[in-house]
């Protein structure tokens, strides 16, 4: 089992994130996929004894694809962000779904912690728009299409064909599952604010438009193939 952490300028959070996953999954290989950070994120991770893979092509999609390639031999790969928003203690639940054969992709559906300001109203509305467009054009994917917390089986990673370069990667992960009839199971997880000192790299307008374009492109490329089961 392995934990992949795509990172871009998460120096303020990466030590805490690594510590949390080491405590939650002491037997897992933890790999930071450093996407050209300029704040020393990679150096901090190396100093903690963590394996660091430099991803020179800029964008989260490149980092995720690099993770799938580098960790191809592992039966289960957990994907999480390096900002501390996803609790490592929930990883066991995602992994169990894959190990039990109940899911090819287990998704942590974000439930923002009450009163913590983990997700703005604009992002909530944007997520609703994206989910509606996905359902109409592609099919019934998981409800939290943009969650960055997932566990993948080897079957999933061997079958999908990914091309996304940026934040639209999560949408592509969902559409590939629908198109290929892969089993998806979604469970609710707490979603926390980013660790102090880090900042979001997303732009609601720019990246929202990229995600919608990805839905349109995937709809045309894959066709409205349905049949994935979500829970």
Average pLDDT, the chain: 87
Which sign does the torsion angle of CA 137, 139, 144, 150 carry?
A: negative
User: Is 227 contained in some domain?
Assistant: no
pLDDT value of position 127: 65
Residues 154-211 pLDDT 10s: 999 999 999 999 989 998 999 999 889 999 999 999 999 888 887 776 666 676 777 7
Gap between the Cα atoms of 99 and 18, Å rounded: 23
Number of domains within the chain = 1
Residues 207-222 pLDDT 10s: 677 777 777 777 777 6
Alpha helical stretches, state H, the chain: 14-24, 41-47, 60-70, 91-99, 121-137, 154-159, 169-179, 204-222
User: Is 97 contained in some domain?
Assistant: yes
User: Is 18 contained in some domain?
Assistant: yes
pLDDT value of position 227: 39
181 in the Ramachandran plot: left (φ > 0), alpha (ψ -120 to 50) or beta?
left
Q: Give how far the C-alpha of residue 13 lies from the chain's centroid of Cα atoms, to the nearest Å.
A: 17
Q: Is the per-residue pLDDT at 6 higher than 70?
A: yes
Write phi, then psi, for 90 (nearest 5 degrees).
-90, -10
pLDDT value of position 217: 76
User: Is 200 contained in some domain?
Assistant: yes
Residues 63-104 pLDDT 10s: 999 999 999 999 999 999 999 999 999 999 999 999 999 999
CATH for 181? 3.90.550.10
pLDDT value of position 224: 43
Q: Is the per-residue pLDDT at 142 higher than 50?
A: yes
Give the domain range for residue 6.
Answer: 2-222
pLDDT value of position 222: 65
């Amino acid at each position: 089992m392995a934990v992949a952490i795509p990172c871009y300028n998460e120096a303020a959070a990466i030590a805490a994130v690594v510590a949390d996953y080491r405590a939650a999954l002491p037997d897992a290989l933890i790999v930071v996929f450093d996407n050209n950070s300029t704040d020393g994120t990679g150096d901090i991770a190396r100093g903690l004894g963590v394996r660091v893979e430099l991803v020179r092509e800029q964008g989260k999609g490149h980092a995720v694809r690099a993770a799938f390639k580098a960790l191809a031999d592992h039966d289960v790969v957990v994907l999480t962000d390096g900002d501390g928003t996803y609790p490592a203690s929930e990883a066991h639940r995602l992994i169990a779904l894959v190990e039990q054969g109940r899911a090819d992709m287990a998704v942590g559906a974000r439930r923002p912690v009450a009163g913590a300001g983990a997700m703005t109203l604009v992002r909530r509305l944007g997520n609703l728009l994206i989910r509606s467009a996905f359902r109409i054009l592609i099919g019934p994917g998981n409800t939290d299409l943009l969650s960055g917390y997932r566990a993948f089986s080897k079957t999933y990673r061997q079958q999908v064909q990914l091309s996304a370069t940026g934040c639209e990667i999560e949408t592509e992960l969902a559409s590939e599952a629908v198109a290929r009839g892969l089993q998806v199971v979604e469970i609710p997880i707490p979603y926390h604010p980013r660790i102090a000192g880090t900042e979001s790299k997303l732009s609601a307008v720019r990246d929202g438009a990229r995600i919608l374009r990805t839905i349109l492109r995937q709809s045309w490329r894959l066709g409205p193939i349905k049949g994935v089961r979500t829970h």
